[in-house]
Amino acid sequence: MTPTPICDAEQRCGFRYNGLMNNGPMNNPGGTTPIAFDNSYARLPEHFFARQPPSHVSSPSIIRVNSALAAQLGIDADWLASPAGIQMVAGNQNPPGADPISTVYAGFQFGNWNPQLGDGRAHLLGEVVGPDNVRYDIQLKGSGPTPYSRGGDGRAPLGPVLREYIVSEAMAAMGVPTTRTLAAVATGDIVQRDEPQPGGVLARVAQSHIRIGTFQYFSSIQDVEALQLLAEHVIDRHYPHCRELDNPYLGLLEAVIEHQAELIAKWQLLGFIHGVMNTDNMLLSGETVDYGPCAFMDAFDPATVFSSIDHAGRYAYQNQPGIANWNLATLAQAMLPLLDANRDAAVAMAQQAVDGFAPLFVAAYQQGMGNKLGLQIASDETIELMNDLLGLMRASRSDFTLTFRYLTDLAGDQDEHYGYHPGDGFDDWVRRWQPQLDEQAHSRMVAANPLYIPRNHLVEDAIEAAVYRADLGPFHRLVEITGKPYGYDPALERFAMPAPPGQSVRQTFCGT
């Protein structure tokens, strides 16, 4: 029987988690906002967004504040955890300097063109320039309806909020470019999905939320002036070196292709499956965005798909590079008017840029796989070794993460893999591989092969405890453990191993 959520439709949720935070006392009841907003996107023309404040929630309580990220942004984490900070994250109080907007975009969803999407449940509060001199968006997700909600309620259930917190921060800890999570709150309100769920809001941080779909929106309404303004904005924010080039917009396209190739290589090297690689879910900054039905693969099988809505397996693990390539071709198409006044010349440039994706991806992937195996040069021989290993892993359905950790330990003569063995038939391969290792091999491998990843069954357990038992302990524990993915603690075996029989998660749901 499915457990009943802790709240029913009549009740206010009553989620109050103030005791569980790992931050100090709420010593700053705070009238002033210690966030120096500077909102460059909101200074773009009015048809780039809708000015729209978040809507009110009834009794917000803090779930978790990301103190390290707050520090990186120059924001006082204690303030963020204070009543004033919670009100901001919940969308109840518009802090001074914020200028909340919801942005418009379009996109190809599962290959089908949708001419008008947009932030249907997200509000960009504004941007901050951190002490590192990088500009970051602070966006609320689940903060109420907007003109782009298309009939949706603008809300997020708590479960997906917790999932995004766990997975985005784990990705960051593993060195994958990604949007981050600054804080999460429970709203105290119910959101109605298949069953009533407690609601949540996530404060998301990105270098920007500009998507391939943002370009596609302006391209589809044939607004070349807006396309140009958007391209200028993206160059300023992410790729200022393009200014020096003969054709800055072509440079921009090439830079995005390069960043996406490197990003997708990192996903593949970790067994990460995004699940919804629609063009509205791909950022020009090259950060991973929109953790919906995403999942990490346990047993290695390139055809793995988790998302319950991905019936045709369009976004299967093995398809991710090809899909990214296709998405980038649609970006190039949208940017054609910027590349050259002569259409044929523009098409030729775009084609050449898009053709650059495959070699860039392969180079990044082979380099990363080389690191995972402690090998330095990608020769024909090492590439054959890589392919043979993947073939063995596939045949024996060995655990993707732990197989690399097992090999890491072999290279270093240690046991930090809890005795995991990938299965029969690896010994011959190991005999071919070991002579190729040099003295730095083990340290390269340790840095490339995580032990603690947000495995699907652990994420589900954490969500289940929070939503059905009001117990945030497993969530906090998982955030902390996966925040140190390369470490080893003999007591944490349960967090490194695949799901026990019967508990493995075969399908994930958007739950939006």
Q: Which residues are catalytic?
A: 280
Q: What are phi and psi of 144, to 5 degrees?
A: 110, 165
Judged by CB under 5 A, which of 290, 298, 310, 461 binds Mg ion? 290
Contacting positions for ligand AMP (CB under 6 A):
117-121, 149, 152-155, 276, 280-281, 290, 292, 512
Angle formed at CA 409 by CA 404 and CA 411, multiple of 5 degrees: 95
Residues 446-449: contacts with CB under 8 Å, at least 24 apart = 446/408, 446/412, 446/486, 447/371, 447/486, 448/269, 448/368, 448/371, 448/372, 448/404, 449/372, 449/401, 449/404, 449/405, 449/407, 449/408, 449/486
Q: Which is nearer to Mg ion, 262 or 290 (CB)?
A: 290
Q: What token pair was written down for 342?
A: 């002569």
154 binds, among ligand AMP, Mg ion, none (CB under 5 to 8 A by kind): ligand AMP
Instruction: Name which of residues 255 to 284 contact Mg ion (CB under 5 A).
Output: 281
Comparing C-alpha atoms, which of 289, 297, 307 is closest to residue 510? 307
Task: State the minimum distance, in angstroms, from the CB of residue 315 to ligand AMP.
Answer: 12
CB 393 within 8 A of CB 403: yes
Q: What are phi and psi of 148, to 5 degrees?
A: -105, 15
Q: Which is nearer to ligand AMP, 314 or 394 (CB)?
A: 314
Question: What is the nearest approach in angstroms of ligand AMP to the Cβ of residue 281?
Answer: 5
Q: Cβ of residue 58: shortest distance to ligand AMP, in angstroms? A: 18
118, containing H or E segment: none
Identify which of residues 205 and 385 has a Cβ nearer to ligand AMP in the complex. 205
Contact indicator for 289, 281 with CB cutoff of 8 Å: yes
Q: How far is the CB of 121 from ligand AMP (least distance, A)?
A: 4
> Of 114 and 281, which has the nearer Cβ to Mg ion?
281
71-86 burial, b at 16+ Cβ within 10 Å, e below that, comes to ebbebbbbbbbbebbb
146 forms part of the interface with Mg ion (CB under 5 A): no
CA distances to 264, 378, 402, 405, 447 from 368, in Å: 11, 10, 17, 15, 11
Least distance from Mg ion to the Cβ atom of residue 334, Å: 17
Nearer to Mg ion by Cβ, of 281 and 456: the residue is 281
Which two three-digit tokens encode residue 406?
């097992």
**120 binds, options ligand AMP, Mg ion, none, Cβ within 5 to 8 A by partner type:** ligand AMP
Judged by the rule CB under 5 A, the positions of this chain that interact with Mg ion are 281, 290
